[in-house]
Chains A and B, each alone.
Chain A
Amino acid sequence: MSLVDDGIESIAAVMGGSGAIPTHIAIGTGSSTVVAGDTALTTETDRNAITSIDLTVAKDVTYIADYSATELSGTTLTEFGLFNASTAGSMYMREVIGSVAFAGDLELQIQLSLRFSQSGT
């Protein structure tokens, strides 16, 4: 998973009390290489609200979102990203994976985690 510039700026803004925390995970069918300047998925097909935020591991935060078999039906998933709004918004992270086809019989859960540590440790 690659943190993009927008995400780094958003983290800094949140630390300063003016940003928005991640609220949604979007999925898509694009396959362009992730670069730091990415601000959106290449081809977004669906975006769901985060269903839970897990803070049980110290210094880690995990965002979880679920997608039903119906909404996924016919989709070939190749990319997903973490956002702070239901539409548009700032993208924190983007990842491109090998294609996963959904034919209506599979549901999906995506878990995205961030781990914070002091530089050099």
Chain B
Amino acid sequence: MTDFYPVFIPSTGVTYTLLTADGTTYSTHTQLNVEKSIGDFNATSNFSAEFDNFIGNLSSAFSLNDEVVIYADRGTNPPTTKLFTGVIEKINFTGSSDDERVIISGRDYGAVLQDMTVQPIIFKDKDAGEIARTIVQNNAEGVVTTNNIDITTGTTIEKIGFNHKNVFDALKELAELSGCYFFVDEDKDVNFILKETIPSYRTFDKNSVYNAKFVKEDREVFNKVWVYGDRVLTGNNETFAADGTGSKFTLTDNPHNTRVTSHSVLIQPGGILGLTNPSTETAKYVIDFNEKQVVFVSGTTAGDNIPASGTLPISIDYERSTPIMRFKEDSTSITAYRPKTKIIKDDNIKSYSEADTKATSFLADNKDPKTQGTIYLKGVLNIDPGNTCIVNLPWHNIDYQTYTVLSASYSFNKYNNLSNKVMTLELNKKIADFTDTLKEQMLKTRNLEVGPLEGKFTKLETALRYVDVDSHYEVWAGSVGNNFIFHSPKHGLLESPDSRLGVGNLAQGILGSVLVVSGGY
């Protein structure tokens, strides 16, 4: 007896995929995953592909750094729509000889942005997009292109510096400051685009969503933000009258690098209160930093250093350490979600405007609760991260709301391809997870390692400029007839067979010359 099983025979719209590695086409993968994401997702696009490696038939097929291109289409076999371009970064063999598999994985060319760091540089009064373009051109030239970096985002950054921050994180910072997002597309071109400006014109509802998950939480709401930059030393001078007996002189600020003169004579050496012992050391005065005081000492070793009386005999030069700090808060958010404070410390912030820009953009991004959605789609294949889409899922209390696509994940295998359930979208705002927290700590560590942005190795850069050179040509011909041409080396010589009688030549603008051919701009 023969058993018959119902078989799903697709009519149209089945998903087909194809992978090329170093120019060779492979279509025998059993599982193919692609994740396309934008910078907001804190990751670059990546892929993994699993093949049967029966008796090692693919044992030498792949090499690290081979370029991988993945194509996918519905209803077209072989597929022609390029979905992903990247390189192999890992080759993993697993199994035994009869059940051998090989899994290759890697990232797209956004990996370059993660692997390269920005040479120390400071930008002044430049559009965020222009800065982004310069950073990519200076640090990843030849690997990725910059054709789709919007250099007119409308956000002019008064001053910003980078010191060996990796290019990806530098672009992420610029994107956050300017309301943009970025990614590297399948043509190896860096896109830096204002958010919510490119709609996908797609609405996802019960017909296309077979599963959904939306999380909204206020864990990452911050409505009071303190931004601390570097500290700046500024000079000050204060003078004091002396009565001949008083030894303590109180300054306005805590003193750094103090120089004390009494009756126009430099008093030295100085010491530190509590560390320097006047009875055994020669310090003539000590600094009480916390009390902001200069205290003249007297003792067996130090001698009597109390200033003699006079109207203004004591002059103290010192430096004040002023912090670059900006505080901002959002009262609406405080009322709605209770006060939540964030402190940002970045020694690379060297000016008030930088601190202000940072505080403003951070507050705008974090004063409201974040919603992160995940929708599992059927019958959908091409949505680019960064595009907006409309979601209508009433049972999630979402009625035709517009969301930004953070990432698009594809899971291709024979089951998903037949049922067209290959795509998952992450929407709106990334809620920080363990990976993001770990990355933040790594960035802080790196900042400590490279130190603040200053010194002779720092380049003050406005922007790298390119000049286009266009060309144009015109070829003119004119009949010389029997003209005699004065000053002509050919037709103006007496007794020369070339000499002719008449007026002018072409170079002198003779009438009747014709444009034979022209080209260029």
Contact = CB atoms under 8 A, between A and B. Distances in A.
Answer yes or no: do A and B interact: yes
Interface of A: 1-3, 8, 11, 51, 64, 66, 68-71, 77, 80, 93, 95, 97-98, 100, 102, 105-121
Interface in B469-521: 469-481, 488-491, 498, 505-507, 513, 516-517, 519-521
Contact of B477 (A8, A108, A116): A108
Contacts of A77: 475
Contacts of B520: 1, 113
Contacts of A114: 469-471
A107 B473 contact: no
A14 to B, nearest CB: 12
B465 interface: yes
B506 A66 contact: yes
Nearest to A15: B467
Interface of B: 151, 465-481, 488-491, 498, 505-507, 513, 516-517, 519-521
B505 A115 contact: no
Contacts of A106: 477-480
Among A106, A107, A119, the most chain B Cβ lie within 10 Å of the Cβ of A107
Given A1-B471, A100-B477, A111-B476, A95 B465 contact: no
A112 B471 contact: yes
Nearest to A98: B517
Given A80-B475, A109-B475, 10 more contacts: A1-B473, A2-B471, A11-B469, A68-B480, A80-B473, A109-B507, A109-B513, A110-B474, A111-B474, A112-B471
Nearest to A117: B468
Contacts, number: 110
A35 B267 CA distance: 76
Contact of A68 (B488, B517, B519): B488
Nearest to A102: B477
Contact of A118 (B468, B470, B498, B505): B468
A93 B470 CA distance: 11
Nearest to B496: A70
Nearest to A119: B466
Contacts of A69: 480, 490-491, 498
Given A106-B477, A109-B513, A113-B472, A118 B491 contact: no
Contacts of A120: 151, 466, 468
A66 B487 CA distance: 13
23 contacts: A3-B469, A66-B506, A66-B507, A68-B480, A68-B491, A68-B498, A70-B498, A80-B475, A93-B471, A97-B517, A98-B517, A100-B475, A105-B479, A106-B477, A109-B476, A109-B513, A110-B473, A110-B475, A110-B476, A112-B472, A113-B472, A116-B467, A117-B470
Contact of A107 (B465, B467, B506, B521): B506
A100 B476 CA distance: 11
Given A68-B498, A105-B481, A107-B478, A113 B505 contact: no
Contact of B519 (A3, A64, A95, A118): A95
A45 to B, nearest CB: 15
Contact of B467 (A95, A108, A117): A117
A119 B471 CA distance: 14
A63 to B, nearest CB: 10
Given A69-B490, A115-B521, A107 B468 contact: no
A87 B520 CA distance: 26
B477 A107 contact: yes
Nearest to B514: A106
Among B465, B473, B507, the most chain A Cβ lie within 10 Å of the Cβ of B473
A106 B476 CA distance: 10
Nearest to B517: A97
Nearest to B516: A100
A108 B470 contact: no
A97 to B, nearest CB: 5
A110 to B, nearest CB: 5
A100 B467 CA distance: 34
A121 B473 CA distance: 21
Contacts of A118: 465-468
Nearest to B500: A69
B479 A1 contact: no
B472 to A, nearest CB: 4
B466 A113 contact: no
A116 B468 contact: yes
Given A68-B491, A68-B498, A100-B517, A109 B469 contact: no
